[in-house]
Structure 1
Amino acid sequence: MHNSPEFPMLSAIVDDLATQGWSQQAHFLPAALVAALATECRRRAAEGQLNPAGVGRGAAQEVREAIRGDHILWLEPGESDVCDQYLTAMDDLRQAINQGLYLGIEDYECHFALYPPGAFYRRHLDRFRDDDRRAVSAVFYLNPDWQPGDGGELRMFLGDERTHDVQPTAGTLVVFLSAEMPHEVLVAGRERLSLTGWFRRRGNEPF
């Protein structure tokens, strides 16, 4: 089992995925790195780099604010040191998931997500109907001093009419099986920042 002093929660995440299909961990990364990621997200937003997110994919993708209202920017390696540190941490998690669950995850994709006040994302699954590459979803929150009345919770639908709400507090990581966990983002009362991504395996598309 891969683990390291910097990321002692990796085995707990893998165990949670195996037993219940999701995991929630507070203080996943150092507070200084979390704050730097939040600053990076706001800087890029101020520069106009984040764009309204669409629903669907490919030619069928369209912006529908009645379904989701966040603005996003995809991360690429080598763009900034702080983002590269985050991508390295997630690659450690990728390796741990592969070693513990044998999911054959090959890569990880993610984007900054900024929800303006009043924005939300209706209930959905992260895996597309015609593309099964997304195996595990990961959401990492960047919001300091978030209060219960600020809204913006991630609501996961666990089955049997059970739900679990995650407050988007800075440093909290939520990981869940992409094809099995319906979820939504409740209305945010103030600006809400996160890094949202997917661990992907080889797809079923023909070569």
Structure 2
Amino acid sequence: MLPELSRSMLKNSLVLAVFAAVTVAVVAITQQTTKGRIATAEREAQIRALGEILPAHSYDNALLDNVIYLNEPLLGHTTETPAYIASAEGEPAAVILQARAPDGYSGSIQLLIGITAEGNLSGVRVLQHKETPGLGDRIELAKSPWIKSFDGKSLTQPNQQGWAVKKDHGDFDQFAGATITPRAVVNAVHKALQYFDQNHAQLFAHLNTAESQP
């Protein structure tokens, strides 16, 4: 009786071990086959997001292969954050910065900001926020065209005073019942332009260094 019980227990143990091994193998194979697809999908999503900021015809390099990492308080960074450097025929074309407006109504607002080599805004988009639906969420392009009011602006157009919402005697519209949110975005974009102006040469030096390497 005991030998039969032992054989049965051994058999069950072997079956469980084989089942576990097969399960692990299947999971590993599934992860490997889907990993590439996920990476490709993520890369395509990044390219689409960057394409909303910078028209494809304005540069000819691979933005995702020309990345530098910044940890800049003026941009609201608290950790290293990627920035993308664009070129056209080997010449600097633009930079796409990530910035954080820490003073939104419901928390920080993450922004993607494109600035041409001449210092003009090519576009601004909101990456993430927690602003009030129906009020502050109008910073999203899907909810309102307000974010496009930055297109073509620069550090000097408007002037220093103009870089504020109209309630603060500036040039940018605020939302009815939600002034804090657009104020935070305007301030963050203005600071990004200031950072770009102060670090123009250094930003594009990264591109030149990367392209000169064999």
Q: TM-score range by the shorter chain?
A: under 0.3
Give the TM-score of the pair, scaled to structure 1.
0.25
Pick the structure with greater CA Rg.
2
Structure with the larger strand share: 1
Higher relative contact order (CA 8 A, sep 6+): 1
Structure with the larger helix share: 2
Give the TM-score of the pair, scaled to structure 2.
0.24
